[in-house]
Amino acid sequence: MPLFGKKDSGKKLRKDTNRDIDKQIINIEDKYHLRQVLGNGAFSEVRLGESKENPGQLFAVKIIDKKALKGKEDSLENEIKVLRRLTHPNIVQLLETYEDKTKVYLVMELVTGGELFDRIVEKGSYTEKDASGLIRQVLEAVDYMHEQGVVHRDLKPENLLYYNTDEESKIMISDFGLSKMEDSGIMATACGTPGYVAPEVLAQKPYGKAVDVWSIGVISYILLCGYPPFYDENDANLFAQILKGEFEFDSPYWDEISASAKDFIQHLMCVDVEKRYTCKQALAHPWISGNAASSKNIHSTVSEQLKKNFAKSRWKQAYHATTVIRQMQRMALNSGGSSRNNTITRNDVEKQT
């Protein structure tokens, strides 16, 4: 039985949840050249896709093995349903979905700028203002998600990618494998990544949008010092810290950080859900909306701690999107073609699903 209840192989799945499924049979390889592997996961691989209609237009095609996915079909259906609902400049975009007898194909926009922490380490200068600008983009995207009734549930640095390699590139939220729509029922499942998960999730209480705000608080903390607010080799001890909301602004790492930044973080990482800021309240905080963020260069301290505390994520061991695209451009130039019209969009190189 096909995953989405269709009998014909190679069909293009509907783009809009309010429309009937498109009955026209289109094989994905009729529209795209599937090229190099960009990343691998437990149930999938991500390959570079080039449009046959517009040569040089590149995408990330996530190819999910149905056999490996057996028993977890609901999770994929949920991810697709969520992504179809979201259209925002800071959220990785699902463009098309296809299915044949053995695989499901998600055609995503391509991102080539790499991970958040890597870019910070590579910078020569980095300030609170930079961190504030990054968090503002994340808050705006998550606020939009929450307005659409979507809770991400797994916000963490690895899921924040730069759109491209430009100095002023925007940041993108990816990986919606654990996201959930509020109207799909009470959320009480313990999920997420331990160091970023909200206390109410660990306490196995029903929870909602506020879990994302907590995670943004954790990310904000790391962006200003380079190490996590909660850490212990023993998960039980780690969870105990999170449940109590026990974290410090340690000296000397926080000595030069503004009082406004600390106040902002305390309002996001607040154990009492009723007192925790919403995204809108966080966006109105002076550290985000005003001039409270310091312009002092904190790069040396933060980058040193980031290198010490955060290893490369698993997918980066695979072929990096930027490397692949540069090779393709060189080949085009060497063969007398032009890479001038290459459209580099976004890369959803995820390690899950």
Q: What is the mean pLDDT of each run of 10 residues along the chain (353 residues)?
A: 42 42 60 88 83 92 85 76 88 90 90 90 92 97 92 85 91 69 44 74 82 96 95 85 93 96 98 96 97 94 91 44 49 46 34 35
Number of other CB atoms surrounding residue 35 within 10 Å:
15
Cβ pair 215, 198 in contact under 8 A: yes
CA pair distance 348, 107, nearest whole angstrom: 9
| Domains within the chain, CATH numbers bracketed | 11-111+314-334 (3.30.200.20), 116-309 (1.10.510.10)
Number of other CB atoms surrounding residue 55 within 10 Å:
13
pLDDT of amino acid 334: 55
- Which strand (E) or helix (H) includes residue 353? none
Q: What is the pTM of this model?
A: 0.78
| 20 classed as catalytic | no
Task: Taking the CA atoms of 73, 199, 195 and 223 in sequence, report the sign of the dihedral they define.
Answer: positive
pLDDT of amino acid 333: 53
CA pair distance 294, 259, nearest whole angstrom: 10
Tokens found for residue 52: 């046959």
Tokens found for residue 211: 């879990």
Cβ pair 72, 169 in contact under 8 A: no
pLDDT of amino acid 72: 72
Indicate the residue type of 260: S
pLDDT of amino acid 142: 95
User: Considering 143, 154, 175, 212, which one is annotated as catalytic?
Assistant: 154
